[in-house]
Amino acid sequence: MASFYSLTLILISIFAFSISIANSKTLKRDVKALNEIKASLGWRVVYAWIGDDPCGDGDLPPWSGVTCSTQGDYRVVTELEVYAVSIVGPFPIAVTNLLDLTRLDLHNNKLTGPIPPQIGRLRRLRMLNLRWNKLQDVLPPEIGELKRLTHLSLSFNNFKGEIPRELANLPELRYLYLQENRFTGRVPAELGTLQNLRHLDVGNNHLVGTIRELIRIEGGFPVLRNLYLSYNKMSGAIPTALAHIPKLTYLYLDHNQFSGRIPNAFYKHPFLKELYIEGNAFRSGVNPIGAHKVLELSDADFLV
């Protein structure tokens, strides 16, 4: 009998919650912002965005790619995912009015122009994916205000200028994808202070500097597993300290201007699985010393 009453209470609670969602109104700020976005994106998404309320109005479902949640008496937009639909035009600035967004995914479109500095208003954002667009200009330092960000993917665009040091202000950041752009200058050593950064990919840019400069902060990159520096213009010797990054598993140094020899310490690293070094100016004609059961090297002739 007790279980029957418990089940009844659960069903009543679910019903009441459903009624509250149906009766709650979408915040006017979010309705206005999504309709502005709708007007700017064109026919490719308009056909799936029916009605005036992006969260649905009872008779109509939420707009495709729009996720809402209830906060008090209102519904707010928490996720916007509109990708691979050939959106053409500038980054829709009205997106920055969706202050409750936790996920913004506009990848694989044809967005152009810069990321507006107003992006810093999205303080609850955890995932920002803009890869495979035609975005350009420098990255606004305001991205460093997205304190909850864990995933940032800006790869395969036309961004230029230096990688902003403000990215080091993102304490939760785990994955940073900046490859296939036109970044110049040095990779900020301040990124080494990120205590949660697991993946850093800055390959296929125009970056310079040395690894010694990159890892100059003592105890830096404590949980970094994957480091991709391929196809840049970095130079200098490979310091032994690089092999002291404790969790390093995949290291891509290929197609730069590195020189000297690969330190023996890399053979003893407990996690390192792959090390790519081709396309550099490492000293040749030296055979490896000993054997490493885990390390899978792409060109052993360049190692000591």
Cβ atoms of 107 and 133 within 8 Å: the answer is yes
**pLDDT score at 17:** 39
**pLDDT score at 85:** 82
CA distances from residue 278 to 11, 137, 296 in whole angstroms, order as listed: 63, 31, 13
User: How many structural domains are present in the chain?
Assistant: 1
Residue 284 lies in a domain: yes
Supply the range of the domain harboring residue 200.
Answer: 75-292
- pTM for the whole thing? 0.86
Tens of pLDDT, residue by residue over 85-140, are 888 899 999 999 999 999 999 999 999 999 999 999 999 999 999 999 999 999 99
Q: How much of the chain exceeds pLDDT 70, in percent?
A: 84
- What span, in angstroms and rounded, lies between the C-alpha atoms of 224 and 214? 13
- What span, in angstroms and rounded, lies between the C-alpha atoms of 123 and 7? 39
**pLDDT score at 193:** 98
Residue 92 lies in a domain: yes
Residue 49 tokens read as 């965005």
Residue 301 lies in a domain: no
Average pLDDT taken over every residue of the chain: 87
**Residue 261: pLDDT band with limits 50, 70, 90:** confident
**pLDDT: is 120 or 298 the higher one?**
120
Nearest CA to 114 out of 132, 140, 96 is that of 140
Tens of pLDDT, residue by residue over 21-36, are 445 799 999 999 999 9
Residue 131 lies in a domain: yes
| Distance from the Cα of residue 210 to its chain's centroid | 24
Residue 35 lies in a domain: no
Residue 20 lies in a domain: no
Sort strands 103-105 and 74-81 into parallel, antiparallel or unpaired. Answer: parallel
Mean pLDDT is lowest, of 135-149, 161-175, 270-284, for 270-284
**pLDDT score at 3:** 52
* Residue found by looking up tokens 């997205």 in the block: 146
User: Residues 214-230, buried b or exposed e (16+ Cβ, 10 A)?
Assistant: bbeeeebbeebbbbbbb
**pLDDT score at 262:** 87
CATH number of the domain within which 259 lies: 3.80.10.10
Residue 242 lies in a domain: yes
- What span, in angstroms and rounded, lies between the C-alpha atoms of 85 and 105? 12
Residue 66 lies in a domain: no
- What span, in angstroms and rounded, lies between the C-alpha atoms of 82 and 30? 16
| Distance from the Cα of residue 125 to its chain's centroid | 11
- What span, in angstroms and rounded, lies between the C-alpha atoms of 273 and 255? 19
